[in-house]
Amino acid sequence: MHIHSAVDMIYPLILSGILLHITDGAGIQKMNIGVKSGSPGIMPCLYDKKHKENRKYWCQGSLWFSCSILAYANKSGKYSLTDYPAQSIFTVQWKNMKTSDSGYYWCAVEIGGKIDDGYYLYLTVQSIPDVSVVSSSVSGHEGGDISVQCFYSSGYTNKTKQWCRYKDQRCYKEKKTDTSQNSSVQISDDGRRSFTVLMTGLRLTDSGWYYCSVGDLQAPIQLTVTEAKRSFTTVPVATPSHSKTDMHTTQPTTNMNPTTMSTDSSPVTDVAENHPALTAATETVNTEIHSKDKQNKHDVILVMFLPALLVLLVLVTLVAIVTCRLRKKPDAL
């Protein structure tokens, strides 16, 4: 009996020491994540970047040394683990969890020849979670805004509401605004079992995993920030040519590489290929010009020919008169 009493006293100390070692090593506080039963879900697991080449796994059980490994990274099953070494994170995804699946789980990394590294968390599976979000992902553009609505049950009305980042465990509390790093976070509680998180002035570095926190419960959500869309408008400018020769245009080709820009000014295409309407208009103009040129030539010919014709007519008339008189004189004699 004394032996059992001693074991009962030592056992919690040993367990606490193991948990303390593991959770401190990962730098992650204990989490209690709300999960909706019968629905798919996803959550992140962080690890030290020095372990990016090590194998990751998902383990279930209240004790670290006796937990049951459910899945390894990049293998499918009831749980699917996907490793993202560049971000020092792997995700755990499931299709369906039951309320009986509630319990302790471990995000773990295999360490050859040493104690594996990892940390534990608790999953609370409920038909209506005490804390939840509509979607586990949200996206926005650089410089833009995003809004996330977090829901909680009536029993958590007076609990502290927070918006936290997984990577550094930095939290923003209700009715507090933080404008550090050129982005701001504001949390407002509507008093109707939900609070809204507004992030403005988004930066690319804001991408990552966050969680809504109400009291001791959390709901994870992934934020993706993409580069702002930049649009360039090119307006072609063309001057109709009055020449009879073919019209060509010089179209610069620009390489929009961020570090170097080069322009090729050689002729590359005919106007007819890219601007049929402009070509048709130009042909019409040229036709009108040719018609005017012909008309002008006709006018010049007429101006030069008419006086000569008049002189010729006068001469012919005089010759006819003289001839007529000469013919009449002999008759008179």
- How many domains does the structure of the chain reveal? 2
DSSP-based three-state secondary structure for 64: helix
Would residue 253 count as lying in a domain? no
| Shared-domain flag, residues 148 and 236 | yes
Please check whether residues 50 and 147 belong to one and the same domain: no
- In a shared domain, residues 153 and 215: yes
Residue numbers of the domain that contains 96: 16-128
- Give the pair of three-digit tokens for residue 326: 């000469």
- Domain boundary (108, 128, 148) is at 128
Task: Give the separation between CA 130 and CA 124, rounded to whole angstroms.
Answer: 9
In a domain, 259, yes or no: no
Assess whether 20 and 93 both reside in one domain. yes
CATH number of the domain enclosing 222: 2.60.40.10
Residue 193 structure tokens: 């079992």
Q: What's the residue count for the chain? A: 333
pLDDT by residue, tens only, the chain of 333 residues: 433 333 344 444 344 344 433 444 445 557 999 999 999 999 999 999 999 999 999 999 999 889 999 999 988 788 999 999 999 999 999 999 999 999 999 999 999 888 899 999 999 999 999 999 999 999 999 999 999 999 999 999 999 999 999 988 899 987 655 544 446 899 999 888 999 999 999 999 999 999 999 999 999 999 999 998 776 666 666 655 554 444 444 444 444 444 333 334 444 344 444 444 444 444 554 555 555 555 655 565 666 667 777 888 888 888 888 777 776 655 444
Query: Are both 35 and 106 inside the same structural domain?
Result: yes
Question: Helix-strand-coil percent breakdown of the chain, rounded to 5?
Answer: 30, 35, 35
> How much is the pTM?
0.61
- Say if 77 falls within a structural domain: yes
Structure tokens at 324: 């007529």
Domain endpoint, select from 95, 128, 161: 128
Are both 165 and 138 inside the same structural domain? yes
Q: Are the beta carbons of 26 and 209 closer than 8 angstroms? A: no
